[in-house]
């Protein structure tokens, strides 16, 4: 920065101002400084900047996995929104594990991020303490916690799963199995399971243990589980999956087993990923406004940072049932 200042014939303070308060510098000086910056290839040092200004242009975002276009859609939107505002996303992958989340969080806190974005509302005690001490905006995504840590943007997973289950019933399916992820601290899938069970109960449909299947994340697990299921319990007429990934895996498992979809077995998913519309047969699913979730999340963070967000702490982005060929 000293080089730039010398070349432009001003002090570094003027260079600093030219960079972040251009309006406070005369047009002539501004141009000289900009020329000097270009000539020297100067890049401001964010470490120094954020050390003195006490806040950094970094937003931390932690997601269970990046191998899932539901999350990547939100990530892309977040990344776009924040880089437009001059912030960078420090991304971490928790692998559906709140201890990993804690570890990542404690590492990232060292950057004194301007805000923190987490998936779900399940966190370790240590994580909560860390977040509390940091005193920055925290947004929990993808669910509507009754007792949010700070802010939350998402949808009612329980209600959506409930609706889909009732829809399947309406479409004539009766023996509806539920294929879920088996991560205990994943409040989204737990809530979806609860919505499913509530609907089944209200509809007077029996849920036997083998109808609630839990598998790890991964297409092949879903596929294998369904092939297993139809062998053991052939009377199942629909499988509702707690994510589109699982649903596509389930669909492939059913096709492998020689079943026709939806005639022999209906499949429903959750997420409406790109593949859901393209796959043959196309996938009936719950559409989740993932870009909107990213957008709203970025919006309330920016408002909070600019001195005051006055809206509700929990923002419901809604969902909708999309019926396609698979059910």
Partner DNA sequence: CGTCAAGATGTGAGCGATAACATCGCATCG
Partner DNA sequence: CGATGCGATGTTATCGCTCACATCTTGACG
Shortest gap between Cβ of 23 and DNA (angstroms)? Answer: 7
Does position 228 interact with a copy of itself (CB under 8 A)? The reply is no
Which of residues 203 and 224 has its CB atom nearest to a copy of itself in the complex?
A: 224
For tokens 């892309």, what's the residue? 76
Distance CA 141, CA 143 (A): 6
Which of residues 21 and 27 has its CB atom nearest to a copy of itself in the complex?
A: 21
Relative to beta strand 212-215, strand 138-141 is unpaired
Alpha-carbon dihedral sign for residues 148, 309, 305, 60: positive
287 binds, among a copy of itself, DNA, none (CB under 5 to 8 A by kind): none
Which of residues 61 and 199 has its CB atom nearest to a copy of itself in the complex?
A: 61
Distance CA 38, CA 33 (A): 9
Alpha-carbon dihedral sign for residues 39, 45, 49, 52: negative
Q: What stretches of 9-111 adopt beta strand conformation (E)?
A: 58-63, 88-93
Positions in the binding site for DNA (CB under 7 A): 1-2, 10-17, 19-20, 23-26, 28-29, 42, 44-45, 48-49, 51-54
Does position 84 interact with a copy of itself (CB under 8 A)? The reply is no
Q: Phi and psi at residue 43, in whole multiples of 5°?
A: -125, 120
Distance CA 103, CA 64 (A): 13
Instruction: Assign 35 to helix, strand or coil.
Output: helix
Which range binds a copy of itself by CB under 8 A, 91-99, 164-172, 198-206, 313-321? 91-99
Which range binds a copy of itself by CB under 8 A, 116-124, 127-135, 142-150, 202-210? 127-135
Query: Which residues bind to a copy of itself, rule: CB under 8 A?
Result: 41, 43-51, 56, 65-67, 69, 72-73, 75-76, 79, 83, 86, 88-93, 104, 106-112, 129-130, 133-134, 218-220, 223, 248-249, 252, 255-256, 274-275, 277-280
């Amino acid at each position: 920065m000293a080089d730039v200042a010398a070349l432009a014939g001003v002090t570094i303070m003027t260079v600093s101002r030219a960079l972040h308060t251009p309006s406070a510098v005369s047009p002539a000086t501004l141009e000289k400084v900009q020329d000097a910056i270009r000539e020297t290839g100067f890049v401001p040092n964010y470490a120094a900047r954020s050390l003195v200004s006490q806040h950094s242009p970094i937003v931390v975002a932690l997601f269970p996995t990046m191998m899932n276009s539901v999350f990547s859609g939100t990530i892309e939107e977040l990344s776009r929104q924040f880089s437009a505002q001059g912030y960078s996303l420090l991304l971490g992958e928790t692998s559906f594990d709140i201890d990993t989340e804690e570890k990542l969080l404690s590492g990232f806190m060292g950057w004194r991020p301007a805000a923190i974005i987490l998936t779900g509302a399940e966190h370790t005690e240590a994580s909560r303490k860390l977040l509390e001490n940091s005193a920055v905006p925290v947004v929990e995504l993808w669910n509507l916690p009754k007792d949010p840590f700070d802010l939350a943007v998402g949808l009612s997973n329980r209600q959506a799963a409930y609706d889909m289950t009732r829809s399947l019933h309406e479409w004539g399916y009766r023996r509806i199995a539920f294929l879920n992820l088996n991560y205990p601290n994943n409040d989204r899938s737990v809530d979806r399971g609860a919505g499913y069970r509530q609907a089944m109960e209200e509809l007077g449909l029996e849920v036997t243990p083998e109808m609630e299947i839990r598998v790890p994340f991964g297409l092949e697990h879903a596929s294998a589980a369904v092939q297993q299921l139809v062998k053991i319990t052939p009377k199942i007429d629909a499988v509702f999956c707690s994510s589109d990934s699982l649903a596509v895996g389930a669909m492939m498992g059913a096709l492998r087993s020689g079943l026709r979809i939806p005639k022999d077995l209906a499949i429903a998913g959750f997420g409406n990923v790109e593949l859901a519309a393209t796959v043959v047969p196309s996938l009936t699913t719950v559409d989740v406004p993932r870009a909107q979730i990213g957008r709203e999340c970025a919006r309330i963070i920016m408002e909070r940072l600019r001195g005051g967000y006055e809206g509700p702490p929990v923002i419901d982005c809604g969902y909708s049932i999309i019926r396609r060929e698979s059910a």
